[in-house]
């Protein structure tokens, strides 16, 4: 079994492309949660996420393609969600990597569902002065669910995989981007790592999915820092559309498919630009 991994980063100015794999070296932290299904050998890259910041707000886009073991492919999966917004604080979040994990019991763990529960529980508490405290609280709660004593049998599969949760939004009116990473060896998860918390990001862009399409947009001058929110929306939507339109001809677009959905995030809240297809949330 081949497990999905992503963390090779190519930076062009402030553009981050997330794709590929690399060896992190020896593990040093204890991990406790077993993973039976990490990925499909035919679908190593399954996630399209694009995000950009403008002084007016963030824009984020995703595809709708999802693969799950022993089930039909889904083309209308919802991959963008949002936390509650209160007093100029709230975030959109999206999952990269394999975010729905099959368990030895035959059940599954869904990072999106668990993140939704966690952020709803935290909504009634004041946002801390240090945003890292908030995201670490999310990570710790998610790992507590992953660390269930009911799911500790070690499976014979091997490999390395990551689940990455991207957050973009506002903390007390200040724009902020954060990323949580949950790594595993194909058998058990590590505790979370808060990979980054960047306040007041400048020229912030993230394009996960296709290095080829990102490179084409950069060369053509389409990755200029947006000044208006509409420019950011157009940028992430065009990237998603280019990736999906090229999935039959460009190798690293092969598994970027399905219904594109796009959202914007401003101080006042979250707005759908192109909504997901309702009734198909995963």
Chain segment 47-74, per-residue pLDDT in tens: 788 999 999 999 999 998 877 666 788 8
pLDDT at 3 over 50: no
Tens digit of each residue's pLDDT (9 = 90 or more) over 159-208: 566 788 999 999 989 999 999 988 877 667 788 999 888 888 877 788 88
Other C-beta atoms lying within 10 Å of the C-beta of residue 183: 21
pLDDT at res. 137: 93
Q: How confident is the model at residue 279 (pLDDT cuts 50, 70, 90)?
A: low
H or E element in which residue 12 lies: strand 8-12
Give the Cα separation of 182 and 195 in Å (integer): 10
Q: Count CA atoms within 13 Å of residue 230 on its CB side.
A: 0
Tens digit of each residue's pLDDT (9 = 90 or more) over 207-221: 888 889 989 998 999
Tens digit of each residue's pLDDT (9 = 90 or more) over 100-112: 777 666 777 888 8
Inter-CA distances, 126 with 85, 88, 172, Å: 12, 12, 10
- Please tell me whether the overall predicted TM-score, pTM, comes out greater than 0.85 for this model: no
Select from 95, 37, 106, 45 the least CA-distant residue to 69.
37
List domains and CATH numbers for the chain: 8-19+28-274 (3.60.20.10)
Give the Cα separation of 47 and 38 in Å (integer): 14
| Structure-model confidence comparison of residues 121 and 145, the more confident one | 121
């Amino acid at each position: 079994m081949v497990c999905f991994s992503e963390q090779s980063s190519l930076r062009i100015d402030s553009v981050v492309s997330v794709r590929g794999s690399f060896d992190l070296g020896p593990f040093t932290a204890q991990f406790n949660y077993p993973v039976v299904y990490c990925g499909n050998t035919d679908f190593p890259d399954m996630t399209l996420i694009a995000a950009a910041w403008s002084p007016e707000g963030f824009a984020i886009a995703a595809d709708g393609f999802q693969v799950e073991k022993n089930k039909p492919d889904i083309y209308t999966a919802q991959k963008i969600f949002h936390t509650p917004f209160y007093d100029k604080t709230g975030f959109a979040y999206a999952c990269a990597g394999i975010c729905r994990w099959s368990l030895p019991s035959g059940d599954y763990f869904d990072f999106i569902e668990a993140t939704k529960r966690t952020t709803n529980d935290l909504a009634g508490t004041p946002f801390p002065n240090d945003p890292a405290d908030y995201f670490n609280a999310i990570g710790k709660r998610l790992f507590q669910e992953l660390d269930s004593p009911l799911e500790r049998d070690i499976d014979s599969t091997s490999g390395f995989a990551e689940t990455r949760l991207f957050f973009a939004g506002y903390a007390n009116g200040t724009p902020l981007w954060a990323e949580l990473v949950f790594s595993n060896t194909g058998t058990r998860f590590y505790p979370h790592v808060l990979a980054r918390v960047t306040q007041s990001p400048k020229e912030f862009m993230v394009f996960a999915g296709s290095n080829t399409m990102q490179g084409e947009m950069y060369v053509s001058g389409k990755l200029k820092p947006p000044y208006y929110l509409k420019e950011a929306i157009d940028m992430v939507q065009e990237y998603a559309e280019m990736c999906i339109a090229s999935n039959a001809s460009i190798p690293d677009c092969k598994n970027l498919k399905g219904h594109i959905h796009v959202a914007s995030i401003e101080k006042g809240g979250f707005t759908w630009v192109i909504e997901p297809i309702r009734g198909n949330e995963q």
